[in-house]
Amino acid sequence: MMEQLMKLWSFDVVVWRGFLFSALILNFIFACQLFFLQPLVSALDTKPGDAAALFERVTQNVKVKKYREALNDLNSAIEADPALSEAYWHRASVLRQLCRYEESEESYKKFLEMKPRDSAAEKELSQMHQAKSALDSATNLLDTGDIKRALEYIDKVVLVFSPACSKAKLLKVKLLLADKDYSGVISEAGYILKEDEDNLEALLLRGRAYYYLADHDVALRHYQKGLRSDPEHGELKKTYFGLKNLLKKTKSAEDNASKGKLRLAVEEYKAALAMDPNHSAHNVNLHLGLCKVLVKLGRGKDAISSCSEALELDGELIDALVQRGEAKLLTEDWEGAVADLKEAAEKSPQDRNIREVLMRAERSLKLSQRKDWYKILGVSKTASVSEIKKAYKKLALQWHPDKNVDNREEAENKFREIAAAYEVLGDEDKRTRYDQGEDIEDMGSGMGGGGFNPFGGGGQQFTFHFEGGFPGGGGGFGGFHF
């Protein structure tokens, strides 16, 4: 009897344990449904209010750019109820905005299978095709260099129908960089980085914009941030170390110039310029630095070339105008020097140094325009008095009008010029003043009246009489005596 009671009690315990275990399993299943499937069950109960709540949540997620959450909700809803047509349409729209065009087209077509000839869905599908085509066209136009048209495709089509398209946004930044709209690059890449601060391509492009604006410190910070995320990123490494080398080479050139190592500075400046010929904002300073060194070395022609390069990049660079003016003085281009220095003085009227250089150039120009008496007599500026007299005698005999009957007019002009040259250079006081640059143009014109006897003194006498014209037909030079 006791044994039977024990068996019965054991059987009851087993039954109760089984019952409790089953209850726990059912509770677990219910909890899973409650926490994980309730939103979808609500949408699948064919209750319009519940489905509307799901789509409203999707819409709100899209508004705050939570596209992943929106797609997760829609994908789960479709998985739970493949017949939920509206979910396909919403998913197609989200995918279109993200420019995931193949997936978007598939969802649009699935919806249209369920709801044929739905005009709104058909319109969106058409817009999706336009956006895809425009994105492809803009990509090709970047390669061919038609930047303006490519930007129109991006702004007026792609980003209208696919406003969340990261590919299009990055393409726009590349187009702006190619168009040298560096402020635009900084702005557009900044928007991308606000949404994804570790977007390596946006960091690279924005850093390049700062680089081409010669804001090198900011450029380096962008490159460094990208390399912290991916130390082996090829383009970031290349641009980062390229900029570091450029700055190093530039500093070396400037240091050598300041230490007076001018020839070494020239080589360093040239090497820095060769590193990136397109870096205009930085190269303008390299060209100017090179010009200054070349002026100090007396290499006027090369200096003019370097300063002209700087002015091509920045026509308002006053220092380059001044240095080019100095270089033109070295090459004896007096008029060119005055023109450059006048322009510089007009742009900086308070600069006393520019005015002083301009006055020097104007004086050189004036001196260059007077007659070169030394050249007329064919002697050097260091010629002795006897050398000057000897040259004068020779030329006076050669060009005396009485000895040049066939070309009398030319001879008369030459003879007067030779005599005028001797009148200045043969007088020690006049020659000194002439050499000092004084304005003595009229010194050589004192040939009228009386007789002009440049060879006074003993020995052979050469007397030239000027009044009364030339012999024969109205008078002429007096007798030619020796």
Rounded to 5 degrees, what angle do the CA atoms 451, 452, 454 make?
145
Strand partners, 464: 452
Please state, for a pLDDT cut of 90, what percent of the chain lies above it. 68
For 465, the enclosing helix (H) or strand (E) is strand 464-465
Domain(s) labelled CATH 1.10.287.110 in the chain stretch across 373-435
Q: Which residue has the tokens 């490159």?
A: 223
The most distant pair of C-alpha atoms in the chain lies apart, rounded to whole Å, by 181
Average of per-residue pLDDT across 88-113 = 96
The third-level CATH classification (topology) of the domain covering 373-435 is Helix Hairpins (1.10.287)
Q: How far apart are CA 242 and CA 173, in angstroms?
A: 22
pLDDT for 439: 66
User: Is 27 a residue whose pLDDT tops 80?
Assistant: no
Q: Which of 195-199, 362-366, 474-478 has the highest mean pLDDT?
A: 195-199
Residue type, 15: V
- Which residues fall within 8 angstroms of residue 3, CB to CB, at 6 or more apart? none
pLDDT at 473: 37
Q: Higher confidence at residue 381 or residue 150? A: 150
Q: What CA–CA distance (Å, rounded) separates 100 from 162?
A: 9
At residue 340, the pLDDT reads 96
Confidence class for position 465, pLDDT limits 50, 70, 90 = very low
Say what the pLDDT of residue 26 is. 53
- Does residue 459 carry a pLDDT above 70? no
**Position 423: which residue type?**
E
Band (151; pLDDT cuts 50, 70, 90) = very high
Q: What stretch(es) of the chain map to CATH 1.25.40.10?
A: 51-179, 278-369
pLDDT of 185 > 90? The answer is yes
Yes or no: say if 328 and 304 are a contact pair by the CB < 8 Å rule: yes
Across the chain, what does the average pLDDT equal? 85
CA distance 285 to 251: 12
Cα separation, 422 vs 416, whole angstroms: 10
Region 248-276: mean pLDDT is 97
Q: How far, in Å, CA of 460 to CA of 434, rounded?
A: 29
- Check residue 25 and give its pLDDT: 55
| 239 or 406, which is more confident | 239
> Whose structure tokens read 């383009």?
235
Task: Report the top-level CATH class of 278-369.
Answer: mainly alpha
Q: Which residue has the higher pLDDT, 24 or 119?
A: 119
Specify the pLDDT at position 455. 39
Say which residue, 31 or 318, is predicted with more confidence. Answer: 318
3-state secondary structure of 452: strand
pLDDT of residue 164: 95
Torsions phi, psi for 436 (to 5 deg): -80, -5
11-25, 46-60, 248-262, 460-474: lowest mean pLDDT where?
A: 460-474
Nearest C-alpha neighbor of 165 from the set 189, 187, 135: 135
Specify the range with the lowest mean pLDDT, choosing from 35-49, 77-91, 322-336, 415-429: 35-49
Average pLDDT (426-431) is 90
pLDDT at 277: 95
Environment class of 470 (CB within 10 Å of its CB; exposed 0-12, middle 13-18, buried 19+)? middle
Going by C-beta distance under 8 Å and a sequence separation of 6 or more, which residues neighbour residue 279? 211, 212, 214, 246
pLDDT of residue 200: 97
d(C-alpha 117, C-alpha 99), whole Å: 23
Helix 385-399 and helix 408-425: axis angle, to 10°?
A: 170
pLDDT digits (tens, 9 = 90+) for 441-457: 555 444 433 334 443 43
Per-residue CA distances from 298 to 158, 323, 332 (Å): 59, 12, 12
The structure's pTM equals 0.71
> Could you read off the pLDDT of 284-326 as tens digits, one per residue?
999 999 999 999 999 999 999 999 999 999 999 999 999 999 9
In the three-class reduction of DSSP (H, G, I as helix; E, B as strand; rest coil), residue 297 is classed as: coil
pLDDT at 92 > cutoff 60: yes
Pairing of strands 464-465, 451-452: antiparallel
State which fold the 51-179 domain adopts.
1.25.40
Cα 185 to Cα 169: distance, rounded to the nearest angstrom: 10
pLDDT bucket at 24, cuts 50 / 70 / 90: low
Is 50 within 8 Å of 42 (Cβ atoms)? Answer: yes
- Give the model's pLDDT for residue 437: 74
